Amino acid sequence: MNPIDLKTALESFDDAWSPRIVAYLNDYDIRIAKFAGEHIWHVHENTDEFFLVVDGEIEIGLREPAGERTVTLQQGQVFVVPRGTFHKPSSKLGASVLLVEPTGTLSVGDQHDEVPGHVDVTTGHVAV
């Protein structure tokens, strides 16, 4: 029941693609993560996914009925990937991102490409 300083929480870990849970809101995790390089194409069948760029810039590739497109988010911008949409987050120069997802949501979704070693398959680690 104390305030969470996002800067301090982000400084407490270095691993990219390994989200940390900083708070809980009803049945949702408030997670922070560092993005560097590419994640994988994946989909969350039953939930939207909220992204807020805290620092840096990210791209989110989207596979939609009309074809593929890429959304670029700068610091301070938000975007919601709708449930059932294959997406692939990435960051060329590195970024810090706040995510909102239902508790227990896997970082690689319900369906995904092969998971490389640099992507942590997790439901989030509790931030210290």
Name the average pLDDT for the chain: 95
Query: Any alpha helices (H) in the chain, and if so which ranges?
Result: 6-11
- Averaged pLDDT for residues 90-116: 94
> Where are the chain's structural domains?
26-126
Which residues on adjacent β-strands are paired with residue 33?
Answer: 97
pLDDT at 19 over 80: yes
CATH of 26-126, one of 3.40.190.10, 3.50.50.60, 3.30.70.600, 2.60.120.10: 2.60.120.10
Alpha-carbon Rg of the chain, whole angstroms? 14
- Averaged pLDDT for residues 91-118: 93
More reliable by pLDDT, 52 or 115: 52
Tokens at 16, concatenated: 């990219």
- Averaged pLDDT for residues 70-76: 98
- Averaged pLDDT for residues 50-56: 98
Tokens at 41, concatenated: 């194409």
Contact between 71 and 35 under an 8 Å Cβ cutoff? The reply is no
Q: Is beta strand 111-112 parallel, antiparallel or unpaired with respect to 42-43? A: antiparallel
- Averaged pLDDT for residues 9-17: 96
